[in-house]
Every structure is written in structure tokens, then in C-alpha cells.
Amino acid sequence: MRTRLSICRKKARYPSYEAALVVARSADIELRPYPCNQCRQYHLTGRLKGKRMPRER
């Protein structure tokens, strides 16, 4: 998944997957860390069931 630079700059960055995971687990909603191709760090994303996730269908 590619991350837009505009999105990257809005989101919190985490230096490692583990650091992001700690934050994700403390959140009320379901979040997942993912590596960002812009800053080479990690962000959190939610809405895994949403419409914005492209599917093969």
C-alpha cells in the first residue's frame, strides 16, 4: 500500500512496528500499523472493513 505524502504528514509516525503496535493496542478502535513508503516509519490505520480498502473483486 502506498501512502500519499499529504497523508503521511497528517498522521503520527512511529519509529518501529513495535512502537506503533503498542499505541494501536491502547486505542479503543481497531488499528493496524503499516510501513510508510514516504517517511520509512510506521503509521496506524483503521477502518479495515471500510470502502477505501481496495479488493480484488
Binding letters toward Zn ion, positions 4-43, x by CB under 5 A: ----x---------------------------x-xx----
Residue 56 CB, nearest approach to Zn ion (Å): 26
| Joined grid coordinates for residue 6 | 499529504
Size of the site for Zn ion (CB under 5 A): 4
The answer to whether the CB of 44 falls within 8 A of the CB of 11 is yes
* Phi/psi of residue 6, nearest 5 degrees: -65, -35
* Eight-state DSSP code of residue 53: S
Contact residues toward Zn ion (CB under 5 A) are: 8, 36, 38-39
